[in-house]
C-alpha cells in the first residue's frame, strides 16, 4: 500500500475539521483568532482588558454573517486566561472553537480511517493542517495578536 502525499492528506483533514466544526456549531461562518502569548508577549499587549476591546471592535457589525465559529488557537496554557477569552467570544454571540483540541481529535479519527494513518499523528501534520485551515477561503477574516 502506498501512503498518499501529505498535501492530499492535509486537504482531506482540513475538510473534515471544517465539517466537524460546522456540525457542532451549526454555522458555515468561520473566523480565525490566533493569540501569541509566549513568544509575542513583549511585542503585543494581549492582556484580558486589551483583548476584550480588540474582540468588541473586531466583531462590531458582523451580525450580517450570523453566528461565527471562532477558531481559536494560542500558545497560552493558563486555563483562567483561556476561559476568559472563551467567555468573551461567547458573550459577543459567537461560538468558541478550541482549534488545537478540535484538530487533534479529528486528526486522530482520520488516522484510524486510513491505512498506516498512525503516521499522521505528529506535530508536522498538525502544523500543516492548522496552516491550511487558517488560509482557507472559508475563513471570513483572521485576527492575530
Question: pLDDT (tens digit, 9 = 90+) per residue, 14-59?
Answer: 999 999 999 999 999 999 999 987 765 667 889 999 999 999 999 9
The pLDDT score that the predictor gives to residue 5 is 77
Region 116-121 average pLDDT: 88
- Using pLDDT thresholds of 50, 70 and 90, give the confidence band for residue 114: confident
Nearest to 28 by CA among 137, 143, 104: 137
CA angle 14, 32, 121 (to 5 degrees): 35
Amino acid at each position: 500500500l502506498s501512503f498518499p502525499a501529505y498535501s492530499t492528506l492535509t486537504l482531506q483533514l482540513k475538510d473534515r475539521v471544517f465539517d466537524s466544526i460546522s456540525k457542532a456549531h451549526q454555522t458555515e461562518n468561520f473566523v480565525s483568532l490566533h493569540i501569541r502569548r509566549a513568544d509575542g508577549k513583549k511585542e503585543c499587549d494581549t492582556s484580558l482588558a486589551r483583548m476584550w476591546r480588540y474582540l468588541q471592535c473586531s466583531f462590531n457589525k458582523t451580525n450580517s454573517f450570523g453566528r461565527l465559529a471562532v477558531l481559536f488557537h494560542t500558545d497560552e496554557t493558563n486555563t483562567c486566561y483561556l476561559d476568559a477569552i472563551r467567555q468573551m467570544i461567547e458573550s459577543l454571540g459567537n461560538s468558541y472553537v478550541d482549534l488545537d483540541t478540535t484538530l487533534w481529535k479529528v486528526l486522530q479519527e482520520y488516522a484510524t480511517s486510513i491505512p498506516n494513518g498512525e503516521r499522521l499523528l505528529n506535530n508536522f501534520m498538525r502544523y500543516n493542517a492548522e496552516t491550511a485551515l487558517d488560509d482557507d477561503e472559508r475563513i471570513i477574516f483572521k485576527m492575530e495578536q
